[in-house]
């Protein structure tokens, strides 16, 4: 019997459907917390309303006695019900065996302890994203665990990097290859075996001797690698910006590729995520005019708190949060005679819009470049909501550092950025690159290594 905490339903409103044949229990205290958070335009309120609707849909017209006993969870019209959903009323324990009930967390733990006494033959497990809540429950004798359904990896080191590096020559590992010329490009057709068995579409192959190849097609038995010249990649200039290492070069290649509609860039501070994305976006809107506008947004600390307390328009209110965009725009023009005038000129000419996530839900952006900064602070449900806003001819660029998560109840493994990177690794029009990190200064290099 799995008992869900409020933060689990906010993290994933569909959580109650993800426990297969097991029973799911929602304490009355959790319903009260959802009710108190459901009002407003914030993402948390929308997630609460969605969770409440899911609960109502499962319960349907069930009577109070049926709800107390448990209502079968039906996931589809033709699907057999699996598990039961039950609303659990609070049950008081003797004072000597209960936590003080001035906190909702304590009420839930007390209720679980009473439930455990009534069903000694069954496993009662609290599911919560709150580490302290889990510690308190275990200390009180109640089993507790994190919500792992949207956690696709057991170790963050298993997350794809977007490239495969080989020592010495890549071709030393290849027994048979067929090389063809297609539309002015050299492509190598190889058997998908050995080290190549784990590659995904739009990933790169790099060796120490300078070979760079991009996986452009694959099936169960073969793989097609397009030969890219390292010299050309390293000298690709975009809005005055030239890549500083091969990882930035392949990231820039993906950003400029019109056939890649989703690009995830991860890496530590100073690895070049934002400046690469911004330079590529300006190039594709001002110079090549492949897209009509650039939309920049990010998750603000506190999970999209109200921005109304800041003065000005929506763009002016979001500017403090999107300072990294402006900082990198200044960096692109730092060699100009008058940097301030250049930046003001670019902002007046480039269709760059700062948007709050609170007002993205329900919209659709056509022929747009959508930059989502600080993606590591989004849940899988939130990031899905934003990506589905991309309309015809749009491209989404997600930037994030999995070592800097500021949102409560999120870890690197449960972050929306990790979830999306793993989910989209086989998507033909998606790609991911983990930037190794080019130090911005000796100070930054020393801090990364020693602090």
What is residue 304's predicted lDDT score, i.e. its pLDDT? 45
Whether residue 184 is contained in a domain is answered as no
Total tally of structural domains belonging to the chain: 2
Local confidence band at 307 (pLDDT 50, 70, 90 cut-offs): very low
What is residue 440's predicted lDDT score, i.e. its pLDDT? 63
What is residue 303's predicted lDDT score, i.e. its pLDDT? 37
Whether residue 235 is contained in a domain is answered as no
Q: Residue 373: helix, strand or coil by DSSP?
A: strand
Q: Is the pLDDT of residue 308 over 70?
A: no
Higher pLDDT, 190 or 439: 190
The span from the CA of 26 to the CA of 365, in Å, is 38
245 and 139 housed in the same domain = no
285 and 432 housed in the same domain = yes
Local confidence band at 148 (pLDDT 50, 70, 90 cut-offs): confident
Tell me the pLDDT tens digit for each residue of 176-188: 999 999 888 999 9
Local confidence band at 154 (pLDDT 50, 70, 90 cut-offs): low
What's the half-sphere exposure (Cβ side, CA atoms, 13 Å) at 87? 16
Q: How much of the chain is helix, strand and coil, in % rounded to 5?
A: 35, 20, 40
What is residue 269's predicted lDDT score, i.e. its pLDDT? 80
Whether residue 267 is contained in a domain is answered as yes
Domain's final residue, options 85, 114, 146: 146
What is residue 439's predicted lDDT score, i.e. its pLDDT? 58
444 and 331 housed in the same domain = yes
The span from the CA of 46 to the CA of 31, in Å, is 15
Local confidence band at 93 (pLDDT 50, 70, 90 cut-offs): low
Enumerate the β-bridge partners of residue 127: 4, 145
Angle at 76 between CA 72 and CA 82, to 5 degrees: 35
Asked whether the beta carbons of 430 and 422 are under 8 A apart, the reply is no
| CA nearest to 266, candidates 349, 160, 174 | 160
Q: Is the pLDDT of residue 385 over 90?
A: no
Asked whether the beta carbons of 288 and 277 are under 8 A apart, the reply is no
Q: Structure pTM?
A: 0.78
Phi, psi of 440 (to 5 degrees): -75, -25
338 and 445 housed in the same domain = yes
Q: Which two tokens stand for residue 229?
A: 């010249």
Whether residue 414 is contained in a domain is answered as yes
Q: Is the pLDDT of residue 78 over 80?
A: no
Alpha helices in 213-288 (DSSP H): 230-234, 246-255, 273-282
Percent of the chain with pLDDT over 90: 44
Q: Residue 439: is it exposed, middle or buried by C-beta count within 10 angstroms (0-12/13-18/19+)?
A: middle
The span from the CA of 392 to the CA of 417, in Å, is 23
Element (DSSP H or E) covering residue 419: helix 416-423
What is residue 363's predicted lDDT score, i.e. its pLDDT? 79
Across 6-17, average pLDDT:
91
| CA nearest to 404, candidates 217, 221, 257, 267 | 267
The span from the CA of 219 to the CA of 129, in Å, is 39
142 and 255 housed in the same domain = no
Tell me the pLDDT tens digit for each residue of 32-48: 999 999 987 677 888 89
DSSP string of 90-150? -----GGGS--TTSHHHHHHHHHHHHHHH-TTS--EEE-S-HHHHHHHHHTT-EEE---TT
| CA nearest to 110, candidates 128, 129, 87, 88 | 88
Whether residue 73 is contained in a domain is answered as yes
Q: Is the pLDDT of residue 406 over 50?
A: yes
Q: How many CB atoms are located within 10 Å of the residue 165 CB?
A: 12
Q: Which domain holds residue 127?
A: 2-146
280 and 141 housed in the same domain = no
Percent of the chain with pLDDT over 70: 86
Cα-Cα end-to-end distance for the chain: 44
CA dihedral 239, 245, 250, 253 (to 10 degrees): 20
The CATH number of whichever domain residue 89 belongs to comes to 3.40.50.1010
Domain's final residue, options 146, 174, 201: 146
444 and 297 housed in the same domain = yes
133 and 6 housed in the same domain = yes
What is residue 315's predicted lDDT score, i.e. its pLDDT? 55
Domain's final residue, options 84, 114, 146: 146
135 and 254 housed in the same domain = no
The CATH number of whichever domain residue 430 belongs to comes to 3.40.50.300
Q: Is the pLDDT of residue 314 over 80?
A: no
Local confidence band at 324 (pLDDT 50, 70, 90 cut-offs): low
Least confident of 85-94, 204-213, 255-264, 361-370: 85-94
246 and 384 housed in the same domain = yes
Q: Is the pLDDT of residue 67 over 60?
A: yes
Higher pLDDT, 313 or 281: 281
What is residue 239's predicted lDDT score, i.e. its pLDDT? 85
Q: Is the pLDDT of residue 310 over 60?
A: no
What is residue 117's predicted lDDT score, i.e. its pLDDT? 85
Across 407-415, average pLDDT:
83
Long-range CB pairs of 47-55 (<8 Å, 24+ gap) are 47/9, 47/10, 47/11, 47/13, 47/381, 48/9, 48/10, 48/13, 50/13, 50/14, 51/9, 51/10, 51/13, 51/15, 51/16, 54/13, 54/14, 54/16, 54/17, 55/16, 55/26, 55/31, 55/85
The 8-class DSSP code of residue 426 comes to T
Mean pLDDT (the chain, rounded): 85
254 and 399 housed in the same domain = yes
Whether residue 364 is contained in a domain is answered as yes
Whether residue 23 is contained in a domain is answered as yes
Higher pLDDT, 68 or 319: 68
What is residue 302's predicted lDDT score, i.e. its pLDDT? 42
What is residue 115's predicted lDDT score, i.e. its pLDDT? 87
Whether residue 9 is contained in a domain is answered as yes
Higher pLDDT, 56 or 153: 56
Cα distances (Å, whole numbers) of residue 36 to 16, 48, 96: 20, 9, 31
332 and 437 housed in the same domain = yes
Across 102-111, average pLDDT:
89
């Amino acid at each position: 019997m799995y008992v869900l905490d409020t933060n689990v339903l906010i993290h994933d409103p569909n959580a109650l459907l993800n426990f297969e044949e097991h029973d799911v229990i929602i304490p009355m205290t959790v319903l009260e917390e959802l009710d108190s958070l459901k009002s407003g335009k914030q993402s948390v309120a929308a997630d609460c309303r969605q969770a409440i609707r899911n609960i109502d849909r499962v319960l349907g017209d069930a009577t109070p006695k049926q709800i107390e006993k448990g209502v079968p969870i039906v996931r589809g019209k033709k699907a057999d019900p699996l598990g039961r959903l039950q609303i659990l009323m609070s049950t008081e324990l003797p004072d000597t065996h209960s936590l003080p009930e001035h906190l909702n967390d304590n009420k839930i733990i007390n209720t679980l302890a009473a439930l455990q006494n009534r069903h000694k033959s069954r496993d009662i497990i609290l599911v919560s994203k709150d580490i302290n809540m889990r510690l308190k429950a275990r200390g009180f004798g109640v089993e507790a665990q994190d919500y792992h359904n949207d956690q696709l990896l057991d170790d963050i080191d298993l997350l794809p990097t977007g490239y495969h590096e080989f020592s010495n020559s890549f071709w030393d590992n290849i027994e048979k290859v067929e090389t063809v010329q297609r539309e002015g490009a050299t492509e190598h057709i190889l058997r998908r075996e050995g080290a190549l068995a784990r590659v995904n579409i739009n990933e790169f192959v790099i060796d120490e001797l300078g070979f760079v190849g991009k996986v452009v097609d694959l099936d169960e038995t073969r793989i097609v690698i397009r030969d890219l010249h390292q010299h050309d990649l390293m000298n690709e200039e975009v809005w005055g910006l030239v890549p500083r290492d091969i990882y930035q070069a392949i990231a820039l290649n993906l950003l400029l590729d019109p056939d890649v509609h989703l690009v995830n860039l991860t890496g530590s501070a100073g690895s070049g995520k934002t400046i690469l994305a911004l330079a590529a976006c300006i190039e594709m809107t001002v110079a090549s005019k492949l897209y009509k506008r650039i939309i920049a947004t990010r998750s603000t600390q506190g999970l999209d708190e109200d921005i109304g307390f800041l003065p000005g328009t929506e763009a002016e209110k979001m500017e403090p949060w999107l300072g990294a965009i402006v900082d990198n725009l200044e960096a692109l023009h730092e060699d100009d005679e008058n940097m301030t005038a250049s930046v003001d000129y670019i902002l007046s000419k480039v269709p760059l819009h700062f948007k709050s996530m609170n007002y993205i839900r329900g919209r659709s952006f056509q022929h747009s470049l959508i930059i989502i900064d600080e993606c590591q602070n989004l849940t899988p449900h939130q990031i899905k909501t934003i990506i589905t806003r991309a309309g015809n001819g749009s491209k989404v660029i997600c930037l994030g550092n999995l070592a800097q998560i500021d949102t409560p109840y999120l870890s690197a493994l449960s972050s929306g950025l990790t979830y999306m990177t793993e989910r989209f690794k086989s998507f033909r029009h998606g790609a991911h690159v983990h930037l190794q990190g080019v130090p911005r200064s000796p100070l930054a290099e020393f801090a990364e290594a020693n602090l």
